[in-house]
């Protein structure tokens, strides 16, 4: 065993022996149609056309005022492992998915294009181009499902988690929902919650992979295992010390608190309440703890909390919130509606042309888009601005105006992943970005009640020496 | 490349080189408190007490009439990889989760207890003991989170999927929701949907791991990549053959269908509709196809379908349903409320005693329970029967009455996993079980409208020579 290491010193996933279990191919976490499209496009020569795909959502979940982008770092980690090796190629051949020549192409596949996007943790609105993938059709089309799986799930969790940390007004939120999500989604959920300001997680793998602090002491089973509550508390304090958190509601809360303080002393770290009317109970338990001299003992509550329950406990003497089901399932919105759309492609003459599916209802703007957030003099967001126009203008655009904060950052440059966004350091950077971005929202935007997007999305059209702004959604 | 192999001949995951990427430790997909409880219980000697944990749910999602158990095979696969190796032990030491002596215990950890449960695919109701874990506290407590993560997610998907295959009345349902779920959850969702009767999935990894047929041909991006729709269709037919499915709604459906039949001929396999009023469109497209002589060309619809949309299309000339978001997110119920509860443990005198948390609201019955479904003379389910009483009576119980179908099957016997339930064969067995179990439901139980559980759950108490049935929920 090596010496203790702080979370900050943990090497990033990807360079770390501890992450070894994740270093296997992600290439089949893909919909079959991506490979069949590649197969047909290689045959007719269109596979080499230069393409731009954008990831965006057409709308926020009903009543939500903003979304939180999460998962970008995981996309980059997965991209590094997106390769077709012998086991993948062999299965594709057996299953007859693509032709032999396409298998040869896949054997040599590496993404050599470029990806830019909103920094992880950034807030997004309808139409925000949160990720822009630039490469040949062949290399970009294969990433659709994997990119969307990661961003749709992680952003759903972060978007819900941000409402919870906002409602908690500075009290720590603890992620404890692993058991209510697929076992690997649980790790991603812990990570996404951390991006949105959660202080810790119960999930050990999330601690290992991403350096997120882990918490947890005991369940009701531990009390029930023992002949009585006092034996259980004595066993826990003997091993974990008096600073531990004792679960006091297995039999009777009042007797549980009395026993807890008697066993651990007034220096008891915390008591946990996992059932009952938490607001009322917290007041009673606080009074009892204070009367017993345990004035520094904290109260953790953990029973089916969501952002609304957290808000309703604001006046209760609660010290931290353990959140389970609602955070890992996106609190009513378990996935985002992000799509991965071809917005421009090289035509017969070699120039990049905007493309879009015909639709009366789908209001997406064709062509590559830049993005910026327009701020008022107080630094508050007033508009989400999509920068549209000729591709060359959009790619070279930079704001003349200091009130426009550009939103795109480079993530992958000609196939090289920028590792600042990955691993444990990426999660910390994303959490900082989220805090700053949320602080920038207009006053009232963090209310939990149902309302429209906190700022409108508008389009600024470049080109021809004039620029016109029009509402895109 | 080896010769083509049928799905039926695919070796099971776990014995297969193709599953190599999954053969890494699952031991940290665990909540920290399981390890801290173990730490304290090893110190005071209670860790070796014989325990029985049960997995059950207290209620079905609002309005649902039955649940579908899925994930059992995945639990067994994950259990085989639940071991603490050097990377796990090193991280636990660095993070200071448990003491050095507990690390030694973990290094030698293998589950040597026994697990029984409902066969995967079986229908369950409130209180149904779908999994029973029997072992020492030390070995059983560590499995809580992993077991619940798998069963809660997979069963949420299967429970929704079963309503969809039921509403489809024999038309194939195709799982296409990978992009709306965490990338590994997507694989589990494809598997759970197959358990509940889905015919195929778009997810390639699910095809590889579990032998589920995969489907998919092209997205709108493929049409947009080309200079016009006809070029795209020609490219697709040239590579995938006229039996392929052409996506006809990128520009104009009527012109799309006309072009599709002109390019592929009247032997065109299918057209796909991904937008618009599907019921009306399907009638129009069917008439157009028939008029063009493409009477064998099928119609696949794929736009935001759920069980209600599928039911509403029953009279439309639709041949199969592609389902995305709603199936992978459990159609409004993205997780099950299954819990992992200590129901009996060895006391000071060495006998197994029932235990339960005090609660006015939680109506669970203490002690180990057997389970059976009581059938009427037509073979229709009338009651879910929990068998309660002294542990020895419950474990040796078998029905005298032919109308009682026992529900528990052995899954792990003294640490040995029964591999009949794992891999591709396990999925096929589970799908058969689900079909038989659903056919056994009372008439009307498959209605989609909100209602109570299709049958009541009652408790049959053994012992003392008398047996009494009482309602448990």
Cβ proximity of B412 and B53 under 8 Å: no
Q: What is the mean pLDDT of residues B65-90?
A: 97
Let me know whether A305 and A353 are in one domain: no
The alpha carbon of residue B36 is apart from the nearest alpha carbon of chain A, in Å, by: 6
Option in A28, A100, A224 nearest B355 (CB): A224
Q: What is the pLDDT of residue A360?
A: 56
Whether A410 is covered by a domain: the verdict is yes
Task: Give A303-330 as a 3 state SS string.
Answer: CCCCHHHHHHCCCCCCCEEEECHHHHCH
Q: What is the pLDDT of residue A16?
A: 40
Would the pLDDT of B15 be above 80?
no
CA distance A421 to A12: 10
CB contact under 8 A, A94 and B5: yes
Whether B208 is covered by a domain: the verdict is no
Would the pLDDT of B12 be above 50?
no
Let me know whether B21 and B146 are in one domain: yes
Cβ proximity of A141 and A34 under 8 Å: yes
Would the pLDDT of A20 be above 50?
no
Give B364 or B391, the one with higher predicted confidence.
B391
Let me know whether A292 and A348 are in one domain: no
CATH code of A32's domain? 3.20.140.10
Interface test with B, best of A83, A143, A214, A225 (most B CBs within 10 A): A225
Let me know whether A337 and A404 are in one domain: yes
Let me know whether A424 and A288 are in one domain: no
Would the pLDDT of A279 be above 70?
yes
Option in A34, A205, A235 nearest B28 (CB): A205
CB contact under 8 A, A40 and B240: yes
CB contact under 8 A, A204 and B97: yes
Does the beta carbon of B355 lie under 8 angstroms from any beta carbon of chain A?
yes
The reported pTM is 0.94
**Reduced to 3 states, what is the DSSP secondary structure of residue A296?**
coil
Q: What is the mean pLDDT of residues A185-193?
A: 98
Could you give the C-alpha distances from A335 to A106, A254, B236, in angstroms and in order?
30, 41, 31
CA distance B132 to B128: 11
CA–centroid distance for B311 within its chain: 22
Q: What is the pLDDT of residue A18?
A: 39
Q: What is the pLDDT of residue A6?
A: 31
Let me know whether A41 and A140 are in one domain: yes
Q: What is the pLDDT of residue A235?
A: 98
CB contact under 8 A, A46 and B221: no
Q: What is the pLDDT of residue A384?
A: 98
Instruction: Name the one residue in this structure whose structure tokens are 């040949």.
Output: A136
Q: What is the pLDDT of residue B3?
A: 34
Give A14 or B306, the one with higher predicted confidence.
B306
* Residue range B101-154, pLDDT digits in tens: 999 999 999 999 999 999 999 999 999 999 999 999 999 999 999 999 999 999
DSSP B276: S
Q: Which residues from chain B sit within 8 angstroms of residue A186, using beta carbons? A: 29, 145, 149
Whether B379 is covered by a domain: the verdict is no
Whether B82 is covered by a domain: the verdict is yes
Instruction: Give the least confident one: A40-54, B5-19, B295-309.
Output: B5-19
Q: Which residues from chain A sit within 8 angstroms of residue B43, using beta carbons? A: 235, 238-239
CA distance B433 to B352: 33
Q: What is the pLDDT of residue A469?
A: 44
Last residue of a domain, one of B316, B341, B375: B316
Q: Which ranges of A173-228 would DSSP assign to H, the alpha helix?
A: 183-195, 204-210, 220-225
C-alpha triplet B422, B327, B282: angle, nearest 5°: 125
Q: Which residues from chain B sit within 8 angstroms of residue A91, using beta carbons? A: 18, 207-208
The whole domain housing A119 covers 7-158+333-471
Option in A32, A188, A335 nearest B215 (CB): A32
Instruction: Give the least confident one: A215-219, A246-250, A257-261, A446-450.
Output: A446-450
CATH code of A235's domain? 3.20.20.70
Q: Kindly write down the DSSP assignment for every residue of B187-253, as one continuous string.
A: HHHHHHHHHTT--EESBHHHHHHH---B-----HHHHHHSSSHHHHHHHHHHHH-TTSEEE--SS-H
> Within a 13 Å sphere around the CA of A231, how many CA atoms are in the beta-carbon half?
14
Option in A182, A218, A234 nearest B33 (CB): A218
The end-to-end CA distance of chain B, in Å, is 56
- Burial of A299-325, coded b for 16+ CB within 10 Å and e otherwise, reads bbbbbebbbebbbebeebbbebbbbbb
Whole-number percent of chain B with pLDDT over 70: 92
Let me know whether A301 and A384 are in one domain: no
Instruction: Give the least confident one: A315-319, A337-341, A356-360.
Output: A356-360
Whether B22 is covered by a domain: the verdict is yes
Option in A21, A28, A330 nearest B25 (CB): A21
**Reduced to 3 states, what is the DSSP secondary structure of residue B458?**
strand
Whether A210 is covered by a domain: the verdict is no
Whether A228 is covered by a domain: the verdict is yes
CB contact under 8 A, B183 and A358: no
Cβ proximity of A194 and A431 under 8 Å: yes
Option in A37, A100, A204 nearest B28 (CB): A204
Let me know whether B127 and B263 are in one domain: no
Residue A402 pLDDT grade (very low, low, confident, very high; cuts 50, 70, 90): confident
Interface test with A, best of B32, B200, B213 (most A CBs within 10 A): B32
CB contact under 8 A, A33 and B218: yes
Residue A357 pLDDT grade (very low, low, confident, very high; cuts 50, 70, 90): confident
The alpha carbon of residue B415 is apart from the nearest alpha carbon of chain A, in Å, by: 22
The end-to-end CA distance of chain A, in Å, is 56
CA distance A67 to A169: 19
Would the pLDDT of B455 be above 50?
yes
Residue A467 pLDDT grade (very low, low, confident, very high; cuts 50, 70, 90): very low
Let me know whether B63 and B138 are in one domain: yes
- Those residues whose C-beta lies under 8 Å from the C-beta of residue B65, and which sit 6 or more positions away, are B445, B446, B447, B451, B452, B453, B454
CB contact under 8 A, A240 and B39: yes
Q: What is the mean pLDDT of residues B192-196?
A: 98
CA distance B388 to B366: 8
CB contact under 8 A, B186 and A149: yes
Option in B21, B144, B217 nearest A25 (CB): B21
* Residue range B327-358, pLDDT digits in tens: 999 999 999 999 999 999 999 999 999 998 87
Please, which residues 183-242 of chain B have a Cβ atom closer than 8 Å to chain A?
183-188, 202-205, 207-208, 214-222, 224-227, 231, 234-236, 238-240
Please, which residues 387-416 of chain B have a Cβ atom closer than 8 Å to chain A?
none
Q: What is the mean pLDDT of residues A166-176?
A: 98
CA–centroid distance for B440 within its chain: 19
Residue B23 pLDDT grade (very low, low, confident, very high; cuts 50, 70, 90): low
Would the pLDDT of A361 be above 70?
no
Give the ipTM of the model, two decimals please: 0.94
DSSP A429: H
Let me know whether A297 and A350 are in one domain: no
Let me know whether B240 and B274 are in one domain: yes
Report which secondary-structure segment, H or E, holds A388.
strand A381-388
The alpha carbon of residue A20 is apart from the nearest alpha carbon of chain B, in Å, by: 9
Q: Tell me how crowded residue A293 is: count the other CB atoms within 10 A of its CB.
A: 12
- Those residues whose C-beta lies under 8 Å from the C-beta of residue A466, and which sit 6 or more positions away, are none
Last residue of a domain, one of A316, A348, A381: A316
The alpha carbon of residue B302 is apart from the nearest alpha carbon of chain A, in Å, by: 14
**Reduced to 3 states, what is the DSSP secondary structure of residue B16?**
coil
Let me know whether A25 and A114 are in one domain: yes
Please, which residues 117-146 of chain A have a Cβ atom closer than 8 Å to chain B?
137, 141, 144-146
Q: Which residues from chain A sit within 8 angstroms of residue B100, using beta carbons? A: 1
Could you give the C-alpha distances from A57 to A66, A94, A128, A469, B111, in angstroms and in order?
11, 37, 7, 20, 45
Would the pLDDT of A7 be above 80?
no
Whether A232 is covered by a domain: the verdict is yes
The alpha carbon of residue B327 is apart from the nearest alpha carbon of chain A, in Å, by: 12
Count of domains for chain B? 2
């Amino acid at each position: 065993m090596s010496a203790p290491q702080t979370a900050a010193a943990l090497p990033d996933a990807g360079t770390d022996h501890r992450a070894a279990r994740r270093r296997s191919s992600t290439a089949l976490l893909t919909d079959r149609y991506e490979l069949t499209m590649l197969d047909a496009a290689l045959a007719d020569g269109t596979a080499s056309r230069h393409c731009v795909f954008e990831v965006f959502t057409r709308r926020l979940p009903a009543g939500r005022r903003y979304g939180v982008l999460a998962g970008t770092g995981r996309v980059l980690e997965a991209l590094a492992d997106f390769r077709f090796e012998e086991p993948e190629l062999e299965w594709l051949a057996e299953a007859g998915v693509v032709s032999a020549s396409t298998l040869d192409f896949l054997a040599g596949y590496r993404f050599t294009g470029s990806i830019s996007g909103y920094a992880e943790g950034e807030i997004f609105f309808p139409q925000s181009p949160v990720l822009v993938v630039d490469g040949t059709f062949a290399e970009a089309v294969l990433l659709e499902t994997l990119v969307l799986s990661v961003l749709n799930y992680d952003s759903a969790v972060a978007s819900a988690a941000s409402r919870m940390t906002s409602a908690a007004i500075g009290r720590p939120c603890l992620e404890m929902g692993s058991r209510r999500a697929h076992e690997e989604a649980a790790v991603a959920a812990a990570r996404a919650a951390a991006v949105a300001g959660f202080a810790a997680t119960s999930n050990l793998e999330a601690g290992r992979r991403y350096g997120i602090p882990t918490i947890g002491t005991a369940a009701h089973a531990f009390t029930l295992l023992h002949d009585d509550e006092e034996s259980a508390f004595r066993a826990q304090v003997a091993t974990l010390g008096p600073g531990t958190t004792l679960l006091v509601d297995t039999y009777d809360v009042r007797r549980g608190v009395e026993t807890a303080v008697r066993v651990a002393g007034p220096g008891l770290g915390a008591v946990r309440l996992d059932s009952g009317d938490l607001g009322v109970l917290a007041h009673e338990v606080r009074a009892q703890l204070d009367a017993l001299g345990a004035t520094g003992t904290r109260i953790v509550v953990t029973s089916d909390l969501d952002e609304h329950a957290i808000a309703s406990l604001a006046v209760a003497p609660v010290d931290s919130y353990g959140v389970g089901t609602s955070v890992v399932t996106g609190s009513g919105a378990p996935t985002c509606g992000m799509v991965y759309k071809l917005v421009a492609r090289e035509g017969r003459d070699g120039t990049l042309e905007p493309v879009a599916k015909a639709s009366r209802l789908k209001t997406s703007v064709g062509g590559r888009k830049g993005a910026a957030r327009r701020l008022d003099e107080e630094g508050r967001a007033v508009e989400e601005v999509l920068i549209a126009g000729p591709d060359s203008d959009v790619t070279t655009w930079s704001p003349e105006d200091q009130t426009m904060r550009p939103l795109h950052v480079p993530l992958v440059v000609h196939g090289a992943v920028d590792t600042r966004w990955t691993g444990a350091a990426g999660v910390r950077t994303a959490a900082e970005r989220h805090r700053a971005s949320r602080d920038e929202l207009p006053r009232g935007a963090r209310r939990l009640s149902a309302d429209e997007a906190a700022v409108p999305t508008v389009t600024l059209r470049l080109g021809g020496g004039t620029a016109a702004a029009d509402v895109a959604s």
